Chains A and B, each alone.
Chain A
Amino acid sequence: MKNFEYVKPSTMEAVADILQQYGDGAKILNGGTDLLVRMRDNLIKPQVVVDIKGISELRKIEYTEEGLFIGAAVTMNEVICSKIVLEKYRILAQSAHEVGSYQLRNRATIVGNVCNASPSGDTIAPLYVLSAKVKIFNKDGIRLVPIENFILGVRKIDLKSGEIVLGILLPPIKGQNGGSYYKHARRKDVDLATVAVAAFCNEGQWKIAYAAVAPTILRGPKAEEILNSLSEVDENTLIPAMDAATSEVTPISDVRAGKEYRLDMIRISLKRAVLAALELYK
């Protein structure tokens, strides 16, 4: 790892100043589980590393009439253990639990997962189906961006120079609902998704998102339309939605799996996610 300057400001303004001053030469350090690996491999060589864990407002999990705010420095394990998440946004806790290992989840954050914008980021597809918004700080104010617009490509996000993600906002959910995340991986711990599906149903309306089958997480409008049109969803009636899933993804072949295998597994993963979501629907 190349040497760098380490700073740990206690205000957002101070972070913004450093980011503005150094531009691409400054990197935000959150849990560090993506950043430090990339620095170790010399894939990036920042001049300044800005640790944001000293800012108390980034550690909050708070439910208001706006919904649930999860601060940028809240760890996966904190989300998994949060009563309010388990009660109202269970699918997010479930996907956070799929990340890495227990030790890793004591450091890794949801916001780090989102900002890393990997196609296999486990918590991102659930954030798509929960209609999450990304809360962004800059010195002129705060802007809220829907997660689907925030993620632009592999490691590409809608963040301008001097901006910092404050946290994630999950809108309140009214009425009956249930959601589930199905991750298909080669082994249970410390492995990235080969493919994954998030399925969420609210008052009979489905939202589907696919992971690891395109440069970004993808919504599944065709599968959603089919599921929404069914009078009863079960393992027979949802077969057309499974077929639709294969038609709306564009997987590649890599070390984890071939393209054809991914296309097969996206069908199965859709089925499993939808059926599990139904079990939890209440």
Chain B
Amino acid sequence: MKHEISFTINGEKVHLEVEPNKTLLKMIREDLNLTGAKEGCGAGECGSCTIIIDGKAVNSCMMLAVEADGKDIMTVEGLAKSGVLDPLQDTFIKNAALQCGYCTPGMLMSAKALLMRNPNPSEDDIKEAIGGNLCRCTGYKVILDAIKEAAGQIN
């Protein structure tokens, strides 16, 4: 039986009918056409599906779409506002903090959630926040730099 759910995503109210066995990640990608969040492992290991729900970073592959009812969701598509990039997006570009880009939407959302709860994180705070985001290309150093720069710690 399908369930009717309502939620906000990137500031927009959405009303949908979903099957219970659909993951939130699948709903976001296939029903809403927001393909930023990626499926890497589908099992909580890689973080490429990370989005922000009610201010908290979560793995959208490990949530059912029906669980999104009443929630406030932000995906990587909601970072830029009226064509202006988020400071994190700017510093990721400036530091070349991506190569293939597969991990990037998840990495950005983990970093965004961190800066939302703690605008001045230590290096350990940053490592904790992105510890669940695998990157097979960059070696992480440039990602740390980009997040520090977005937090105003280096320029």
A76 CB to nearest chain B CB (Å): 12
Q: How far is the CA of A231 from the CA of B110 in the complex (A)?
A: 48
A37 surroundings in chain B (CB, below 8 A): 43-44, 62
Q: A40-B43, A49-B20 are in contact. Are A32 and B56 (CB under 8 A)?
A: no
- What is the interface size of chain A, counting residues whose CB is below 8 A from a CB of the partner? 28
Q: How far is the CA of A39 from the CA of B44 in the complex (A)?
A: 13
Check if B45 is an interface residue, CB within 8 A of chain A: yes
Check if A103 is an interface residue, CB within 8 A of chain B: yes
Contact with A along B35-76 (1 / 0, CB 8 A): 000000011110100100000111100111011000000000
Which of B84-92, B97-105, B127-135 contacts its partner? B127-135
Contact with B along A90-122 (1 / 0, CB 8 A): 000000000011111011000000000000000
Other-chain residue from B1, B43, B62 in contact with A5 (beta carbon distance below 8 A): B1
Contact, CB under 8 Å: B64 / A101: no
Residue of A nearest to B130 (CB): A102
Contact, CB under 8 Å: B57 / A106: yes
Contact, CB under 8 Å: A190 / B21: no
Contact, CB under 8 Å: A103 / B59: yes
- What is the interface size of chain B, counting residues whose CB is below 8 A from a CB of the partner? 28
Q: How far is the CA of A127 from the CA of B1 in the complex (A)?
A: 40
Check if A149 is an interface residue, CB within 8 A of chain B: no
Check if A2 is an interface residue, CB within 8 A of chain B: yes
Known pairs A8-B66, A32-B64, A49-B64 / 20 extra A-B pairs, C-beta < 8 Å = A3-B20, A4-B20, A6-B3, A32-B67, A36-B23, A36-B62, A36-B63, A37-B43, A40-B42, A77-B56, A102-B110, A102-B128, A102-B132, A103-B50, A104-B44, A104-B62, A104-B132, A106-B56, A107-B63, A190-B132
23 residue pairs of the A-B complex, CB under 8 angstroms, read A3-B20, A6-B20, A32-B62, A32-B64, A32-B67, A37-B43, A40-B43, A49-B20, A51-B67, A100-B132, A101-B44, A101-B132, A102-B57, A102-B128, A103-B44, A104-B44, A104-B59, A104-B62, A106-B56, A106-B58, A188-B131, A190-B45, A190-B132
